[in-house]
Amino acid sequence: MSSTILTKSIAGAGLAGGIAGGSYLASPYLLPKKEESPNTTIEDHIESLKLKLISSLDQSKVAKQWEEEYKLDEANIKASIPEASTWEKFKEWCGTSLQLKKTEHESLVSKVQKWCTIGTIEDRISRKSGKSLISEEGATDDWDKIYTTNNQSADRTALGLEGSPNNTKKQSDIDAIKAFCKQEKKKDFLAENKESSFDRVEKWCTKTS
């Protein structure tokens, strides 16, 4: 192959690579950004994030949910939303805010997203003052304390453990407790299941922070 042909081949390959690379790097900037409609409400935005609104719950369950959500983070809600002096006022605030245009009320979006939607038990535990979840890899002492403290038959059988502690089964019991915590903390916090779900996670899966 002549040196002229070889040079042209290399140059052509370099040009093609440059175009491909440039196209790849520039593509995010070439794609037109989807503009948000000025009429988009905060509710539209929340739904676009695939979040579930508290107000979407069945009417027979929604009042209790608002009350429990409010009690879990009352101090912070009041500090951030002065008009939310009761759970009923808090509910009204969420309902009103959801109908506002997002572009005109950007400062409210994070508050609505945090307090007006259904979240996980893990998230709600983090809002409760003085409590934090023990990680699955947490200190052995933390899990030993949970095992020793929760020794009542009713508490143990609720988790599927034998009624009375048995030292020969201590490690398998702790493993079962960890498995329960890992699974249950990811579930939605729902007031209707609070005693059988959230309260058990708080009892079996948390430590004083």
50 in the Ramachandran plot: left (φ > 0), alpha (ψ -120 to 50) or beta?
left
Does residue 12 have a pLDDT over 90? no
Nearest to 173 by CA among 149, 199, 196: 149
- State the average pLDDT over residues 178-196: 97
Does residue 145 have a pLDDT over 90? yes
User: Which pLDDT band holds residue 16 (cuts at 50, 70, 90)?
Assistant: very low
What's the CA gap between 82 and 76, in Å, rounded?
10
pLDDT for res 208: 72
pLDDT for res 209: 61
Q: What phi and psi, each to the nearest 5 degrees, are found at residue 141?
A: -60, -40
> How confident is the model over 71-92, as pLDDT tens digits?
999 999 999 999 999 999 999 9
What's the CA gap between 159 and 27, in Å, rounded?
53
pLDDT for res 32: 52
3-state per-residue secondary structure call for 27-68: HHHHCCCCCCCCCCEHHHHHHHCCCCEHHHCCHHHHHHHHHH
> How confident is the model over 50-77, as pLDDT tens digits?
999 999 999 999 999 999 999 999 999 9
Neighbour count for residue 184 (Cβ, 10 Å): 19
Express as a percent the part of the chain with pLDDT over 90: 74
Does residue 100 have a pLDDT over 80? yes
- State the average pLDDT over residues 32-43: 79
Spatial contact of 53 and 62, defined as CB atoms under 8 Å apart = no
- State the average pLDDT over residues 189-201: 97
- State the average pLDDT over residues 140-151: 94
